[in-house]
Each structure stands twice: as structure tokens, then as C-alpha cells.
Amino acid sequence: MGMSQSLFDYEAALLACAAEQRSALTALYQQEAPRLIAVVYRILQNQSLAEEIVHDAFIKIWTSAQTYRPELGSARGWIYTLTRNLALNALQKNQRQVQADPEFLTDLMDQLQAENEHNASNEAENSLHNRNLYHCIEQLNEANKQCILQAYIHGYTQEEIAHLMDKPIGTIKTWIRRSLQALKECLQ
């Protein structure tokens, strides 16, 4: 499961999209669409809308692949940020009731992504913010930490996490809810 992810070359795929190679977009879609849909679903709580957003995201990836700059961050991070921004725009348009506060969730996902990619950013405030987040995540117990990372970095669904961790889905939902609450309090 984790293997295919590390072997897939996101950067090469984006550069190929920029060079208008459709097969690269197809490969990227097959690789990442299910995970992106899971991430967007978590923001919007609506499956058909999540699928629509991810579809739009891939059109946007295709049309703006040439604007991607490797030196500014990972290709996968770029894809996720682009998709997440579309999801948040849709959220504002629809004013859906979301389980977790979407701004907090997006900040959290962005920071986790950055943390995960070890983006050596010089902005002191940024690294301070990440340090705080990192400190807060470290306070979570191992299981809760795993749930949060699996859900918000790797884009696994709660069902997949339940399967991975061999725990009932209800337990996973509770852990994620509690962890988000704890992180929120810790960061305030």
C-alpha cells in the first residue's frame, strides 16, 4: 500500500503534464484520485461533490502543470494544496456544516504535509508554527498520532485506517475526533 506511493514519481508526472502528455495525467489520476477524494470528502462531507472537486482539480493540474516549481516544494504537496483550495472554495460557496472547523483542518493538513516533506522553510514564524504543531502531535498517544497522520497526510479513509490498525471503525472515528480536539486546544 505504502510502496506504490514512494515509487510513483509525482514530479516527473507533473512535468510530463506540462509537456502535454495525456498519459501522465491518467497515471497521476489512477495513482492519486482515490486518496484525494478521501481528503476532499473529509472537508466537504459529500461524496459526489468530493468526486466533482477532484475531477476539477485534475483539469486544473493539467492546465497549470507548467506553473509547478520543484524548488518550492514537492509535486505531491502542490497537487494536494491545489485540490484542497478548490475544496475550501466549494465549502465557502455551499456553506456546508463540517464536522471539524475547515480552516483549522486545512492549516493542520498543510502543516502536516510540510512537516512530512521536511520543507526547510526559512520563515521563522512558519517553523515556529510547525514546531508548535509538532510539539502538539508529539503529545498525542501513539495510536492517535498514527490516525491523524494516516488520515491527513496519506489520505487514508477511516475505514482503511481501521483496517490498517486492526481496530473497529467507531474507535478510529473517536480517536480522530479526540485528536483534532486535543491539537486544537494545544495550538490555541
Domain residue limits, the chain: 1-98, 101-188
Residue 121 confidence (pLDDT) = 44
Q: Encode 49-61 in three state secondary structure.
A: HHHHHHHHHHHHH
Query: What does CATH list as the number for 101-188?
Result: 1.10.10.10
Question: Hey, do 1-98 and 101-188 end up sharing a CATH topology, with the first three levels equal?
Answer: no
The three cell numbers of residue 154 are 496519506
**In sequence order, which residues have a C-beta less than 8 Å from that of residue 183 and are 6 or more positions away?**
108, 133, 136, 137, 140, 148
CA 185/CA 187 separation, integer angstroms: 5
pLDDT digits (tens, 9 = 90+) for 25-65: 999 999 999 999 988 888 787 888 899 999 999 999 999 99
Q: Amino acid letter at 177?
A: R
Task: With a cut of 60, say whether residue 120 has pLDDT above it.
Answer: no
DSSP secondary structure code for residue 71 in this structure = G
- Phi, psi angles (nearest 5°) of residue 120: -80, 80
The three cell numbers of residue 96 are 456546508
| Structural fold of domain 1-98 | Rna Polymerase Sigma Factor; Chain: A (1.10.1740)
Q: What share of the chain is helix, strand, coil (3-state, %, to 5)?
A: 80, 0, 20
CA 80/CA 57 separation, integer angstroms: 9
pLDDT digits (tens, 9 = 90+) for 124-162: 445 555 667 777 888 888 888 888 877 776 667 788 788
Full DSSP string of 119-144: -----HHHHHHHHHHHHHHHHS-HHH
Banded model confidence at residue 85, pLDDT cuts 50, 70, 90? confident
CA 122/CA 17 separation, integer angstroms: 30
Q: Taking the complete model, does pTM exceed 0.75, yes or no?
A: no
